[in-house]
Structure 1
């Protein structure tokens, strides 16, 4: 079929028809808005949207930031998880810094989209925001938030059960692991002015198991014991025991007991609560202090032999002793192994002492001090760790002489480290250590 130029509509005619159609649509919408009641209008479009959703193969899960005034943990977990999925091609990201934390928190910004895969299924995430209408200023309970944030998670409908039963739970677990990995460890100390009797600073102690100068076999046994402890939540529950473990580190001063605690905290990513019993006024305060500690933490009671003779203090006004005015041995035992000790999970209690023989046998039994580690004087194995840390060498001709001296002389790792730090030159530092050991041997 052949069309002549005369039979083709002109461009002017096409534009005119399009304009007429647009105007008609606008007029129709205006008529509908003006003449059709809003209830009917809303019902019509809601029904249309439901019909469209029914015909679509996609399902969208909405995860809001807040459930009323309570933060939605699922939203927080998704925010952390998706922050770890940000690609270099993303155009906008958000960066926050939490007070006292060293790590920067990176998250996606609104309207940004992330595609994720789980068990071979594709998921699309997008962060949406809706402005919140502010209530009158006179209302003191007005919501201070200016917008409501929520994630839209889209996927094929046939994966609905897998998302609810597996994918979202996986995100909760991954987010927890990410937060623990990024966690800035804190060192807490007793503070009676605090709301929970504790105040904290960042724990920046550099000690690790790699840098610890201790018997290598003992070190490996400790690591395995810690790994076994943190993996046995259901086991502790099944046998009816609180999920906690007690350690006693004993030995001469300077053998690395405090450094070992820091190495444990860095390894497990646990906060440390340093409890000096001399600062605690009574048994009831012990309970409050225990309740104030968090899960996944190490409670440290150093020099337990000095703290628990448990002084029977008397009031100056009379000779009668009042139970609430002192810490008793029974109060400490209840704190460690009584009903209150089960108020929390995944807790470690570490006691240190220079004199194990001075401790009451009631403290030493399993359930209170499950593992006893003797922190010995410096051995040749410990020396090899120290010289690697401080001088960055693994072998030296002087090692043989030092090994013989360490068999004869009792010297702590702290003393050896002090000598090695006196020079960056390995030859000078090692000769200095030999002289120190010889002098100590001669003094007897």
Structure 2
């Protein structure tokens, strides 16, 4: 039992606390002045790590780049977290790139937000550090990189398996859906100069916004046939796993034929607007070798429609020509003189070739 006589006086307590504080300040000053910065950092990191070892929290670091390649998980998290409005998040970045029509929202630098997944509480923090400017190569181009960005995802360590095996795949899937909803449809055409100089890559195609107004609601078409096409498109998009199971490429083709002005281009535009797929417009007469065609196809994007224009005009079909072609015929004479009946071959590419 402690008696009142054994308890230290207030003056003694204050004196002891002041002595400890003074000693700590002296130790801190000596450490800063005598120890190299690297050694200080090493000591403090080890002390910090020692105390963290008793914490039940676990943190994953998701950096923007993996070497020179972009980290898909970082980009997916950036898109996904743009939809999470949390009271703890004070700042958001809002942008609308040139030639786009949708507003993009993302977390600002060094902000935090909370999320919940299947009862698990998760804390996200965006971390940005300034670094010395360096040049990095991205998709065949170079640009200056003056900061390093990453996300820190913190949660209770007992949920590690759920986060890695369920939560992060969920974010990847959700972000793809969000990109599809917000993207502005594009019409791509070949960049012939770039193809000749550099081969096929992301600059092989030139793009503009696809502003075609055609939809299945406005399309003048037999109702039963229209319904059949829409159901077929929906069934195809949902059967990715089936195509993989049977060992087939997840692609689908439509052959559209008929005289000019019968709505073939409008039908393709309606399909693109219905599925939210970009269109790549290709004329085979512009292709001079199989290797060129292969590079062009590799440069197409995910979830897109490849339209092969006037496919019958790209082939030599003697029975469709009005008169025999002389031996010295020009290149223009290779096309049938009769009006094209097969307008386009629409090739759906839901994933990269």
8 Å Cα contact 1:65-1:149 kept in structure 2: yes
8 Å Cα contact 2:126-2:151 kept in structure 1: yes
State the distance in 1 between where 2:180 and 2:123 align.
Answer: 26
Q: Name which of 192, 200, 213 aligns with 2:220.
A: 213
State the distance in 1 between where 2:35 and 2:310 align.
Answer: 82
Q: For residue 350 of structure 2, what is the aligned residue in structure 1?
A: 346
SS at match of 1:282: coil
Please report how far the alpha carbon of residue 102 of structure 1 lies from its aligned counterpart in structure 2 after TM superposition. 1.9
8 Å Cα contact 2:189-2:281 kept in structure 1: yes
Q: For residue 164 of structure 1, what is the aligned residue in structure 2?
A: 164
Q: For residue 103 of structure 2, what is the aligned residue in structure 1?
A: 104
User: Relative to structure 2, which stretch is displaced further, 226-235 or 81-90?
Assistant: 81-90
Q: Name which of 259, 265, 270 aligns with 2:266.
A: 259
Indicate how the Cα distance of structure 1 residues 228 and 53 shifts in structure 2: closer, same or farther if over 3 A, else same. same
SS at match of 1:55: coil
Indicate how the Cα distance of structure 1 residues 115 and 319 shifts in structure 2: closer, same or farther if over 3 A, else same. same
State the distance in 2 between where 1:281 and 1:211 align.
Answer: 35
In the TM superposition, 1:150-189 aligns within 5 A as 150-189=150-189
Q: For residue 146 of structure 2, what is the aligned residue in structure 1?
A: 146
What is the CA deviation profile of residues 52-96 of structure 1, one whole-angstrom value per residue up to 9, with x for unaligned ones? 121101001111112232221111111111011134774211123
SS at match of 1:146: strand
In the TM superposition, 1:85-100 aligns within 5 A as 85-87=84-86, 90-100=89-99
Aligned length: 317
8 Å Cα contact 1:129-1:150 kept in structure 2: yes
User: Relative to structure 2, which stretch is displaced further, 237-246 or 82-91?
Assistant: 82-91
What is the CA deviation profile of residues 339-365 of structure 1, one whole-angstrom value per residue up to 9, with x for unaligned ones? xx9xx95379xxxxxxxxxxxxxxxxx
State the distance in 2 between where 1:281 and 1:34 align.
Answer: 70
Q: Is residue 231 of structure 2 the alignment partner of residue 224 of structure 1?
A: yes
8 Å Cα contact 1:134-1:143 kept in structure 2: no
Q: TM-score, normalised by structure 2?
A: 0.76
State the distance in 2 between where 1:65 and 1:301 align.
Answer: 37
State the distance in 1 between where 2:182 and 2:294 align.
Answer: 30
State the distance in 2 between where 1:31 and 1:89 align.
Answer: 39
Indicate how the Cα distance of structure 1 residues 58 and 103 shifts in structure 2: closer, same or farther if over 3 A, else same. same
Please report how far the alpha carbon of residue 193 of structure 1 lies from its aligned counterpart in structure 2 after TM superposition. 1.6
Indicate how the Cα distance of structure 1 residues 301 and 33 shifts in structure 2: closer, same or farther if over 3 A, else same. closer
State the distance in 1 between where 2:173 and 2:230 align.
Answer: 23
Q: Higher helix fraction: Structure 1 or Structure 2?
A: 1
Q: TM-score, normalised by structure 1?
A: 0.62
State the distance in 1 between where 2:161 and 2:214 align.
Answer: 46
What is the CA deviation profile of residues 153-188 of structure 1, one whole-angstrom value per residue up to 9, with x for unaligned ones? 110010001111111111111111111211111112
Q: Give the greater-gyration-radius structure (CA).
A: 1
What is the CA deviation profile of residues 371-406 of structure 1, one whole-angstrom value per residue up to 9, with x for unaligned ones? xxxxxxxxxxxxxxxxxxxxxxxxxxxxxxxxxxxx
State the distance in 2 between where 1:143 and 1:192 align.
Answer: 24
8 Å Cα contact 2:88-2:112 kept in structure 1: no
In the TM superposition, 1:125-140 aligns within 5 A as 125-133=124-132
SS at match of 1:275: strand
Please report how far the alpha carbon of residue 296 of structure 1 lies from its aligned counterpart in structure 2 after TM superposition. 1.8
Q: For residue 249 of structure 1, what is the aligned residue in structure 2?
A: 256
State the distance in 1 between where 2:133 and 2:261 align.
Answer: 62
What is the CA deviation profile of residues 214-243 of structure 1, one whole-angstrom value per residue up to 9, with x for unaligned ones? 222211211111112122223223333322
8 Å Cα contact 2:279-2:305 kept in structure 1: yes
Q: Higher strand fraction: Structure 1 or Structure 2?
A: 2
Q: Name which of 273, 279, 300 aligns with 1:272.
A: 279
State the distance in 2 between where 1:289 and 1:165 align.
Answer: 36
The Cα RMSD (Å) is 3.8
Q: Which runs of 5+ in 1 are unaligned?
A: 136-141, 328-335, 349-444
Q: Which runs of 5+ in 2 are unaligned?
A: 135-141, 336-344
Please report how far the alpha carbon of residue 99 of structure 1 lies from its aligned counterpart in structure 2 after TM superposition. 3.2
Q: For residue 53 of structure 2, what is the aligned residue in structure 1?
A: 54
Q: For residue 206 of structure 2, what is the aligned residue in structure 1?
A: 199
Please report how far the alpha carbon of residue 29 of structure 1 lies from its aligned counterpart in structure 2 after TM superposition. 1.3
